[in-house]
Amino acid sequence: MILVLRALGVGDLATGVPALRALRAAYPGRELALVAPRWLTPLVELVGGVDRQVFADGLGHLGWSGPPPAVAVNLHGRGPQSHRMLAEVRPRRLLAFANAEAGWHDGPPWRAEEHEVDRWCRLLGWYGIAADRTDLALRRPGPGGLPTGVTVVHPGAKAVQRRWPPERFAAVARELAGRGHRVVVTGSPGERGIAGEVARRAGLPADAVLAGATDVGELAALVAHARLVVCGDTGIGHLATAFATPSVLLFGPVPPAWWGPPADRPWHEALWVGPRPAGEGPAVHPALAELDVPAVLAAVDRVTAADRSRTRAVTARLVPLQAAAEPPLATRR
């Protein structure tokens, strides 16, 4: 068995997909078990290649009752807690970053300033396992009973300093609704208040507020079939990348060079004004506060234009293939 630790959130799982796929390819005949929170199960199913999920909310005693895994892989962090959590299950081999405090001297050194996708691909590369950092796509779920073609505005984020002001989200939502977008506002149950504020300020109907009304699987389906996503540096932005849904992401204080979408996909754009001194208290970070509504709307125009160009290019490639597949008129029946 291959036991992989990634007991974190939506964005963490999404950025770990290339590494998970690489492990699946490297050990095709072994069972691959992923340690992750139970609530992430709908997303784990969209990754593919994971045979079993072991439930854990963060770090601590794993409660493992099976035989020692052949390989344990720390895709969670630098240690020492995560290293020790895996060491408790007595794996025959551990793949992890070097950490002297955990007594683990194998593996590459940790780099703080590194994109999260590259971090785990580099870890596996150290052990001879090649990973494709561009392999970020998730399986596309069906829409179920959720609306399709909507524009998703997601004003929340776990850290208060990563939240763009709600009045600015509302101004963007109001402008997009005026352009004919069907705007919905999403968030966690704890973010229903800020989502409601954004909807009220934007003049949206009450049923536009979906915060707290979707689980993570339904949120993924909503994004997979959406027209556009506008959000901060949070998990829903990674879902937009995974489903190639056009997106505008507002970053601060963490730069997109660490957590942003791939730079070669112009239908995703991360806005970032550079480092600024952090203020005291829970106020929005100064770097994020400098992003204004016109800048976000201009980015919306760019990503939607890039998405239209991408769609035209795909269509142009498909039409000749379809024509070539048809028999000549003289031979048709």
DSSP designation for 293: H
Residue type, 160: V
Q: Give me the percent of the chain exceeding a pLDDT of 90.
A: 80
The DSSP code sequence of 271-284 is E--------STTSP
Q: What is the mean pLDDT of residues 37-55?
A: 96
Nearest partner of 121 among 73, 84, 72, judged by Cα? 73
| Digit-coded pLDDT (tens) for 285-319 | 777 888 999 999 999 999 999 999 998 887 777 65
What confidence category does residue 160 fall into, taking pLDDT thresholds of 50, 70 and 90?
confident
- The backbone region for 187, taken as left when phi is positive above 0, alpha when psi lies in -120 to 50, beta otherwise, is left
Task: Check: CB of residue 188 under 8 Å from CB of residue 163.
Answer: no
Record the tokens describing residue 100, joined without a space.
Answer: 């002297």
When mean pLDDT is compared across 4-18, 28-42, 307-321, the lowest value belongs to 307-321
Stronger pLDDT, 316 or 107, i.e. the higher one: 107
Q: What is the mean pLDDT of residues 231-259?
A: 95
Catalogue all structural domains in the chain, each as residue range(s) with its CATH number.
Answer: 2-126 (3.40.50.2000), 151-314 (3.40.50.2000)
Distances (CA, A) of 171 to 31, 198, 251, 273, 281: 49, 8, 18, 20, 25
User: In whole angstroms, what is the distance from residue 155 CA to residue 284 CA?
Assistant: 12
pLDDT of residue 112: 92
pLDDT of residue 327: 56
pLDDT of residue 311: 83
Task: Check: CB of residue 6 under 8 Å from CB of residue 56.
Answer: no
pLDDT of residue 332: 33
| Cross-strand pairs, 269 | 248
What confidence category does residue 207 fall into, taking pLDDT thresholds of 50, 70 and 90?
very high
Residue 77 pLDDT greater than 70, yes or no:
yes
Average per-residue pLDDT for the chain: 91
Q: What is the mean pLDDT of residues 227-233?
A: 97
When mean pLDDT is compared across 66-80, 103-117, 220-234, 262-276, the lowest value belongs to 262-276
Distances (CA, A) of 154 to 93, 96, 188, 280: 41, 34, 10, 25
Task: Check: CB of residue 243 under 8 Å from CB of residue 138.
Answer: yes
User: In whole angstroms, what is the distance from residue 246 CA to residue 269 CA?
Assistant: 8
Q: Where do we find the tokens 């895709």? A: 75
Q: What is the mean pLDDT of residues 35-59?
A: 95
When mean pLDDT is compared across 130-144, 152-166, 272-286, the lowest value belongs to 272-286
Residue 244 pLDDT greater than 50, yes or no:
yes
Nearest partner of 214 among 151, 143, 164, judged by Cα? 143
The DSSP code sequence of 109-171 is PP-SSS-HHHHHHHHHHHTT----TT--PPPPPP-TTS-SSPEEEE---SSGGGPPPHHHHHH
pLDDT of residue 4: 98
DSSP designation for 253: S
